[in-house]
Amino acid sequence: MIPEEVLRVAEDIREMRVRGASRIARAAVEALLLAAEKYQGSDPGDFALYMRRVAEVLVSTRPTAVTLPNAVNYVVSALRGARGSVEELRGLVVERCRSFISYIDSALDRIAEIGSRVLSSGDVVLTHCNSLAAIKVIARAHERKGLSRVYATETRPRFQGLTTYRMLSQAGVEVVLIPDSAVRYVMREVDKVVVGADAIAANGAVVNKIGTSLIALAARERGVDFYVAAETYKFSPYTLIGELVEIEEREASEVVPADLLAKHPLLSVRNPAFDVTAPEYVTGIITELGVFPPAAAALVLREMYRSEPGAEAPALVRGVEEE
Amino acid sequence: MIPEEVLRVAEDIREMRVRGASRIARAAVEALLLAAEKYQGSDPGDFALYMRRVAEVLVSTRPTAVTLPNAVNYVVSALRGARGSVEELRGLVVERCRSFISYIDSALDRIAEIGSRVLSSGDVVLTHCNSLAAIKVIARAHERKGLSRVYATETRPRFQGLTTYRMLSQAGVEVVLIPDSAVRYVMREVDKVVVGADAIAANGAVVNKIGTSLIALAARERGVDFYVAAETYKFSPYTLIGELVEIEEREASEVVPADLLAKHPLLSVRNPAFDVTAPEYVTGIITELGVFPPAAAALVLREMYRSEPGAEAPALVRGVEEE
Amino acid sequence: MIPEEVLRVAEDIREMRVRGASRIARAAVEALLLAAEKYQGSDPGDFALYMRRVAEVLVSTRPTAVTLPNAVNYVVSALRGARGSVEELRGLVVERCRSFISYIDSALDRIAEIGSRVLSSGDVVLTHCNSLAAIKVIARAHERKGLSRVYATETRPRFQGLTTYRMLSQAGVEVVLIPDSAVRYVMREVDKVVVGADAIAANGAVVNKIGTSLIALAARERGVDFYVAAETYKFSPYTLIGELVEIEEREASEVVPADLLAKHPLLSVRNPAFDVTAPEYVTGIITELGVFPPAAAALVLREMYRSEPGAEAPALVRGVEEE
Amino acid sequence: MIPEEVLRVAEDIREMRVRGASRIARAAVEALLLAAEKYQGSDPGDFALYMRRVAEVLVSTRPTAVTLPNAVNYVVSALRGARGSVEELRGLVVERCRSFISYIDSALDRIAEIGSRVLSSGDVVLTHCNSLAAIKVIARAHERKGLSRVYATETRPRFQGLTTYRMLSQAGVEVVLIPDSAVRYVMREVDKVVVGADAIAANGAVVNKIGTSLIALAARERGVDFYVAAETYKFSPYTLIGELVEIEEREASEVVPADLLAKHPLLSVRNPAFDVTAPEYVTGIITELGVFPPAAAALVLREMYRSEPGAEAPALVRGVEEE
Amino acid sequence: MIPEEVLRVAEDIREMRVRGASRIARAAVEALLLAAEKYQGSDPGDFALYMRRVAEVLVSTRPTAVTLPNAVNYVVSALRGARGSVEELRGLVVERCRSFISYIDSALDRIAEIGSRVLSSGDVVLTHCNSLAAIKVIARAHERKGLSRVYATETRPRFQGLTTYRMLSQAGVEVVLIPDSAVRYVMREVDKVVVGADAIAANGAVVNKIGTSLIALAARERGVDFYVAAETYKFSPYTLIGELVEIEEREASEVVPADLLAKHPLLSVRNPAFDVTAPEYVTGIITELGVFPPAAAALVLREMYRSEPGAEAPALVRGVEEE
Amino acid sequence: MIPEEVLRVAEDIREMRVRGASRIARAAVEALLLAAEKYQGSDPGDFALYMRRVAEVLVSTRPTAVTLPNAVNYVVSALRGARGSVEELRGLVVERCRSFISYIDSALDRIAEIGSRVLSSGDVVLTHCNSLAAIKVIARAHERKGLSRVYATETRPRFQGLTTYRMLSQAGVEVVLIPDSAVRYVMREVDKVVVGADAIAANGAVVNKIGTSLIALAARERGVDFYVAAETYKFSPYTLIGELVEIEEREASEVVPADLLAKHPLLSVRNPAFDVTAPEYVTGIITELGVFPPAAAALVLREMYRSEPGAEAPALVRGVEEE
């Protein structure tokens, strides 16, 4: 009996009407909040079961997203070992949902603050795709110190570069759009690269929009600093125990228009959504807890997943252990 | 009084209806042939002047192309110091035109032959954009030994990857199309890269379709051999004396659809047509004279530009000296 | 009055009849257990002294082994500050011995579990020498997902490659034996390297069978991931305070047959048993606590040596401080 | 009413009569001690205010030094939330001053001890400028094991190499002085590099005397280990939250004699005092807490700034938070 | 009717009783000389046919050797287009044989002379396998300047290191034998590497005993110069036109003793005889014509194969063209 | 009976009153010219002997300079095999002297012309020491296109940076002087490096003022092009046959003022005048014959030393062979 509205959010995530690692996490938590509020029974055990079912439905929509289980586990782990009436349990869940949502916002703000310090007045910055965290860092730095110019990649196949252009030019930043294949061509003029992340592995490897790892190669060749802006709930606890981050491959029609595909029935297309940037190319990961070298990711993860409820970072570990 | 047909060819080159370094060279030489045949006067001095004017018009259509002056100089240098009737001079020009055109074809065939030897049975090959020389190498190797698969980039903004797909699948090669930004993602499966070139500098640097240098970076990271297939008339003699190869930047509308551009009047776009791959990333340059390491380019050039008429490579040096 | 059986174990370790970092640790702890059980006096102070003497004898057998003092210190540190009858003290020692032995087994199992996740279905894996931890990782991965093939080095001078072949083929893995000098030759086909370790230094450097560092160089050149499987009791706490890991050099007769040596009295031979792989070549260290980047080794060590008895990792620090 | 003697110390720091990161920290703490002792009022609130003003004056003398705020914050944070008479508060301050000063000495001694272990008998060592910590490491190692020779750079523009020569030759070490530009020339003979640091950033980057980063490049090229000897109070907590370490540029007259400058009024000179060595060039940072890989700096910082008073490392975090 | 003695030489080459690139070339040319002398007919056309048959037999014995066709083609190309009596043709062949044999000796001597100059007094040198050219370089340098020590690899599976030891110690050089897997372990002490070659490709890649490319990797890591000593008749003209040098794989019984193989019928072994060292790892190729950077190989080849008979280098090109 | 004036020039070279590779060559050739003119005998054999003695005296003044024997051999080789009266022989020598001197000037001008093309409008250029060829390249580029700024190193110990400042500011170039140790600090702003050379080895290695190789390392790290401007008579023909270029070490008093040296009798100083920049760091060598990649140096040398008298480059080979 999962409410319609909750199922609709699940569907939106599955069909990618909700996109971006943070937005997905937020949508899932909002759905959990809604589910908790809509529950009408009075049996505490049934409530726990119901919440767990909702959690499973949400997590299954995008099996390769990292923020999804991180967020959902954080919320439902509040019920583990908890006793009390439905009202009391609901209260626990609601509180977790609210604290997570407010954490998302404050983390982004803190990242903007910290990240703006690594940029200097007059810098030329390059960014890729459309990352909220990276854009906030760039906009805050421009507001504080004035940047010269931002190169934004067009980001094929879905062309998110235009959205980045719109967001940054609203913040008064001068933006130059380039084809993805021109990143090395402009790299000689670039002072720093700032990108976002969909997930961070325990060894500091960064999973982000396809093409990111090429930018990292080109930055390394010129000694250009390469920063990743990412909230700590994008760190994948499962990679600590050896799990690889799975890369989603999407439909051919994003690359080749459907009519052309129809004409070439034998044409095969690969369309990976993300790639993995090795830690040795990453100067620093800008999180709400500070700027870390990628090699520190494993220890950030261990610290996060041992901390108590109410600690600064969400204590996701129980959910993980339980699964 | 340059004939209409000749001016039309010049226009086709300028407007990029004729594209690709070899095709441009061939078109220009065919135009010179036509011009020589159409000439109706009887004053040898006037004929020489006329041919030189035609040459200038042709060379000026794409000031950054290297094959254009190489080809045109080769032909018109036949008139330098030559004496005789218009008929005799026309004969010299016509012979040069024919020898150049047949050289184009035989050079391509020889490159296919030599290049097919550097590929091995079962290889996975990656190519970029739409290079005739690279495609001939791949097709010949597939015919002789059987390749596993070819990754072809879509090649934004003009999408030449689809043409490459068509040409290679006609030769029976299995082709997988990928976005330009996915080259590093598939590189772990690739055995060899084969691309073409628009120009080769004296230090072995390769000017080719934008994105080529990123592929070279990704190949280097995995120890994958990176071959360039190029006729020797793509070697730029001017770089030997320090000239840089100029990179053409094209219109924004190739990157952002015109209607979107209209909506965002402040949006700035850079659209470089080519980039430069440094020689340290190039395993070998497959020419009709053999496979050379890039560092040998300067000496290939010096050898070419001292050789006598009738030598294997077109003796372009006189044209160069004359300019 | 150290019992004969205990001295025999010490002798076996010294004479290398017991080989391999884990097996040495286990043998030493079993000897301590035996020693504790055999003690027949009734003076608690004398028992403590006796146990400390046994510990010293065991540690002195292979002064360069890291697991030996780690294991022995863990056990005898139970007596530090302890009071009670001989029976009570014996109980403390026996419990520590049993917990260490069971820790060895469960750590190996946990490493196999975690390590199997970093390998993928169809992978070609290369391993060196004969490491129990590496073999367990490979065998578990093969059982779960199916590997294509394992390259095992012959591992001169002692030819442990054949033992590796036997152990892996019992697990159903297809093994190809190669000379040590052929590792770079086959590296192009390899997807991942998995080796063991004799010791891990605080900076993440890996001490392992001679030749390991060459494999790491060859892997780096092709961008092949290089994993080390090692229990945390192989981490050397002394390196944290600047001690270098000493490399044992063995007898010439392992390299050149004794009869040939006799014929060439002037022939000089160096036969180092181990080499050091620098941390920048190591993708990850697979421990029972998770997969860590090598730079995390210092902090794993600091964490281990501050933890309380009963913590997941053996609390070796007191022994270390005391020595 | 800040006492004359205290202002004089501030002036000595500002005018660089006191130089070197540790010496500056010590002088500032001694000035705080003096200030506390000289205070003659009886209002606890006024005492706290007075101490804070002294602290501000001291910190402002060299805005780019890292040890200065670290040391001063450690002392004055004792007053935060403290209650009691002036005598009691003065006691808190005095105790903090004394504990910091004794920490400086014991930290240096511990660094010498730990660092001497990473050097081997017979080593040829290269050092730069005049770092107390590096010199102590080298002298202790020579005393224990005997080094072959130390290359000391002359260290333009201020020629601190001669001071290094004097200090090391007093310890019996054979010193060879070389121009700064000859470091790569002698690197083939060098076994290890040991330098000091003015500051360590959260990502492990090392701020030290100009020229240090060139030595690191030359060491990397030959595979020579590059060690940095630095007390943990040189770690910059502000870099953890994104702050860059500012590099002081000094007067032209240090580079070009004043009379020549006068003759060339158009001559422009840049004279940066420090440069930044990227963490990938640093083998290990030798601190009083152990030898760490540079990537561990962020976590050493997090650990330091959460620890309790009385912990081994000064708990500077409160001061930091307060600012 | 090929004489028995000639067939016996062919058999010795095939069965590897004659080993080493130079020794094979010399044996083949001696066999051609013998064949020419033994011919008893009087028909010049038949003589030419006979010599070509002998040549084919010899070349077919080791299809992957490069010196074999280079030497044989040089001799038999004397008959191309030649006219005259059998005696006159025999004279041509005999002269070519003698000039090739004396060329082998003088080339080796010239390589020793030139190569001895790149070594310095007191150098520690590392060599691999058993190369006559490398040994002559080392011995000459020791005679002239005095070397400190030579590390010689044992060179599994056939243990040629012992032969190298014998040859070098006869020349008074101090030799230390090491396992193949210990080359990186001793590299820190090594000043220069000198190895031989079985073949040099047009891009400067060096085909030599398996393990050579690992030594090159270890030398690069420490900035140690890596020299290859090779006569120009080891340069492969076929690689200029794209042919790859084929690597011979030998029998499993060289790696695993036959009795063990018999016991493990499922054991699979790979035993490649050579590997390929990429040109970027080679400091210089020491030939009888001088020391060349590897990138010059293509142009040395082009120069050699255009030179006239009687020129310093054997004019092998005709044989090559003819095949 | 060598004339006083000639001996004085020899003395000036020996005592370094004449400095710089080109100036030394010119001075020596002017001395030969003077010597030829001053000769008063009438015996042709005696004249040849006399000239050879003068040549020997000149060459012996700076045994490590490369341009000195190159220039002197070029002149005196005119006498080899020559017959005729003293007047006729003198004529041969005088002509060679004049042609060499005019070659020096025209080569510099050609280098300026070619080199100016590799710089772009607005470039920031870094140069080292005081190289005439490099300065001409920079000045010509500034005149043609306008450069932004030139960083000139102070160049310890002799401070040639000030001379460079004077020469470049006369040409209207904005110059910023930096300490040698600050080259990496400013490298991020630099577009291209242009330095001179004292000698070029056959493998393309560049011998130049101490510190040059550090600049090359810093340029490589940022992907900055590194050009060397050098006349072809600085190429060392002896390196082709294995000779190493010897590095002169100068007096301690250049580094440490004499009075300080006197006070520290045990202070040891090394003061190498030059260092060697490996070819892999050099983008191109700008010569009067064109821009070559360093790997082409060996073939430029072979070409030069086979060419006939009257060829563009001085035919120095005979002198070389004769020695």
Say if residue F256 is in the same domain as residue F223.
yes
Q: Does the structure show a pLDDT above 50 at C318?
A: no
pLDDT at residue E301, as a whole number? 85
- The helix (H) or strand (E) run that includes residue D136 is helix D132-145
Q: Which residues of B touch E242 (CB under 8 A)?
A: 113-118, 286, 290-291
Question: Which chain A residues are within 8 Å of D295, Cβ to Cβ?
Answer: 293-296
D158-196 pLDDT tens trace = 889 999 999 999 999 999 999 999 999 999 999 999 999
Q: Which residues contact B178 (CB under 8 A, 6 or more apart)?
A: A255, A269, A270, A271, B151, B152, B153, B154, B185, B186
Q: What is the pLDDT of residue C20?
A: 87
Q: Which DSSP string corresponds to D201-253?
A: -TTS-EEEETTHHHHHHHHHHTT-EEEEE--GGGB-GGGGGTPPPPPPB--GG
Q: D57 with D99: CB under 8 angstroms?
A: no
User: Is D318 a residue whose pLDDT tops 70?
Assistant: no
Interface chains of chain A (3 or more CB pairs under 8 Å)? B, C, D, F
Asked if residue F319 is part of any domain, the answer here is no
Q: How does residue F306 score in pLDDT terms, banded at 50, 70 and 90?
A: low
* E321 in any annotated domain: no
Could you tell me how many CB contacts below 8 A there are between chain B and chain E?
A: 49
Question: Do C78 and C127 belong together in one domain?
Answer: no
Chains sharing 3 or more CB pairs under 8 A with chain E = B, C, D, F
Q: Are residues F237 and F212 in the same domain?
A: yes
Specify the DSSP class assigned to residue F249: B
Amino acid at D317: V
Token digits for C20? 């391999």
SS3 A299: helix
- The pLDDT of residue D315 is 31
Token representation of residue F9? 């020039």
CB atoms within 10 A of CB A54: 26
pTM over 0.90: yes
Asked if residue E322 belongs to a domain, the reply is no
φ, ψ of residue A210 in degrees (nearest 5): -50, 135
Residue B315: inside a domain: no
Q: Which of A56, A88, A109 is the last residue of a domain?
A: A109
Q: What CA–CA distance (Å, rounded) separates B248 from E72?
A: 52
CB atoms within 10 A of CB F151: 24
β-strand pairing of A284-287 with A290-292:
antiparallel
Choose from D109, D111, D117 for mutation: most chain C CBs within 10 A: D117
Question: Do both F103 and F9 map to the same domain?
Answer: yes
Helix B44-59 to helix B21-38 angle (10° resolution) is: 160
CB-nearest to A156 from B179, B247, B272 is B179
If one counts every other C-beta atom within 10 angstroms of the C-beta of residue C260, the result is 14
- Model ipTM? 0.90
Domain annotation covers residue D323? no
Q: What CA–CA distance (Å, rounded) separates F288 from F233?
A: 10
DSSP D273-311: SEEEE-GGG-SEEEETTEEE-GGGHHHHHHHHTTSPTTS
Nearest Cα to Cα of residue D321 among D215, D238, D207: D238
Find how far residue D180's CA is from the centre of its chain: 21
Alpha-carbon separation of residue E98 from E6, E55, E311 (angstroms): 17, 16, 15
Q: Which residues of A118-148 are buried (b: 16+ CB within 10 A; e: fewer)?
A: bbeeebbbbbbbbbbbbbbbbbbbbeeeebe
- The Cβ-side half-sphere exposure at A284, using a 13 Å CA radius, reads 34
pLDDT by residue (tens digit) across F96-140? Answer: 999 999 999 999 999 999 999 999 999 999 999 999 999 999 999
- Given a cut of 80, whether residue C280 has pLDDT beyond it is yes
- Please name which of F97, F85, F100, F127 lies closest in space to residue F232, comparing C-alpha atoms: F100
Q: Are A227 and A192 in contact (CB under 8 A)?
A: yes
Q: Are B273 and B210 in contact (CB under 8 A)?
A: yes
What is the full per-residue pLDDT of chain A (323 aa) written as tens digits? 799 999 999 999 998 899 889 999 999 999 999 999 999 999 999 999 999 999 999 999 988 889 999 999 999 999 988 999 999 999 999 999 999 999 999 999 999 999 999 999 999 999 999 999 999 999 999 999 999 999 999 998 888 999 999 999 999 999 999 999 999 999 999 999 999 999 999 999 999 999 999 999 999 999 999 999 999 999 998 898 888 888 989 899 999 988 989 998 889 999 999 999 999 999 999 999 899 999 889 878 877 775 432 233 333 322 223 32
Q: Flag if F298 and E283 touch (Cβ within 8 Å).
A: no
Residue F319 has pLDDT above 60, yes or no: no
> Distances in Å between the alpha carbon of B102 and those of B91, B95, B233, C174, D318?
16, 11, 13, 54, 81
Catalytic residues of E: 129, 198
Residues D91 and D118 in one domain: no
For residue C319, pLDDT beyond 80? no
Q: Residue B301's domain is classified under what CATH number?
A: 3.40.50.10470
Reduced to 3 states (helix: H, G, I; strand: E, B; else coil), residue E177 is strand
- Is C321 a member of any domain? no
- Is there an interface between B and F (3+ Cβ pairs < 8 A)? yes
The C-alpha atoms of residue C69 and residue C66 are separated, in whole angstroms, by 6
Same domain? For E245 and E258 the reply is: yes
Cβ burial of D266 (10 Å; 0-12, 13-18, 19+) is: exposed
D221 interaction partners in chain E (CB closer than 8 Å): 223
Do C214 and E184 make contact, defined as CB atoms within 8 angstroms? yes
| Per-residue pLDDT tens over the stretch E65-101 | 899 999 999 999 999 889 999 999 999 999 999 999 9
Asked whether at least 3 C-beta pairs link A and E within 8 Å, the reply is no
Residue D46 lies in a domain: yes
The helix/strand count (H/E) of chain B reads as 12, 11
Identify all chain C residues contacting A243, using CB atoms and an 8 Å cutoff.
117
8 Å CB contact of C179 and E264: no
In chain C, the number of structural domains is 2
Q: How far apart are CA F133 and CA F141, in angstroms?
A: 12
Q: Which residues of C touch E (CB under 8 A)?
A: 154-157, 162, 165-166, 169, 174-186, 210-211, 213-214, 217-218, 221, 247, 255-256, 260, 264, 266-272, 275
Of B57, B76, B109, the one marking the end of a domain is B109
Does C69 lie in the same domain as C209?
no
Amino acid at B51: M
Q: Which residues of D touch C282 (CB under 8 A)?
A: none
Question: Nearest Cα to E154, choosing from C178, C214, C252, C216?
Answer: C252
Q: Chain A interface residues facing chain F, Cβ-Cβ under 8 Å? A: 188, 221-223
**What is the extent of the structural domain holding C197?**
110-305
User: What is the pLDDT averaged over residues F59-78?
Assistant: 91
D120 contacts C242? CB cut-off 8 A = no
Query: In terms of domains, do C14 and C79 share one?
Result: yes
Report the alpha-carbon distance of residue D293 to residue C293 in Å, rounded.
12
The answer on C119 and C236 residing in a single domain is yes
CB D208 within 8 A of CB D294: no
Question: Where does the pLDDT of residue C306 fall: very low under 50, low under 70, confident under 90, or very high at 90 and above?
Answer: low
Residue F62's CATH number: 1.20.120.420
- Nearest CA distance, D27 vs chain F (angstrom): 29
Boundary-marking domain end, from A109, A144, A174: A109
List the alpha helices (DSSP H) in B123-247: 132-145, 161-170, 183-187, 212-221
Distance of CA F272 to the CA centre of its chain: 17
Looking at the complex, report in whole angstroms how far the Cα of residue D188 sits from the nearest Cα belonging to chain E.
8
Same-domain check for residues A71 and A122:
no
Number of separate helices (H) and strands (E) present in chain D:
12, 11
Least Cα distance to D224 among E221, C202, E219 occurs for E221
Q: What is the mean pLDDT of residues F24-33?
A: 96
In a domain, E317, yes or no: no
CA distance D115 to D92: 33
Q: Which two tokens stand for residue C51?
A: 């146990």
| Pair C101, C181 in one domain | no
Give me the torsion for CA of B98, B99, B100, B103, rounded to 10°. Answer: 120
Running DSSP on this structure, what letter comes out for residue F277? E
Q: Residue D18: enclosing H or E segment and its boundaries?
A: none
The half-sphere exposure of C312 on its side-chain side, counting CA atoms within 13 A, is 11
The pLDDT of residue C311 is 31
Neighbour subunits, D (≥3 Cβ pairs < 8 A): A, C, E, F
Give the model's pLDDT for residue A299: 78
Six-digit token pair at E291?
């020391």
Question: β-strand D175-178 against F268-269: which pairing, if any?
Answer: parallel
Q: What is the mean pLDDT of chain E?
A: 90
Q: Residues C187, C257: one domain?
A: yes
Q: How far apart are the first and last CA of chain D?
A: 23
3-state secondary structure of D31: helix
* Cβ-contact F304, F232 below 8 angstroms: yes
Give the model's confidence band at D311: pLDDT under 50 very low, under 70 low, under 90 confident, else very high.
very low
- The whole-number pLDDT of residue B304 equals 76
Question: What is the Cα Rg of chain A in Å?
Answer: 21
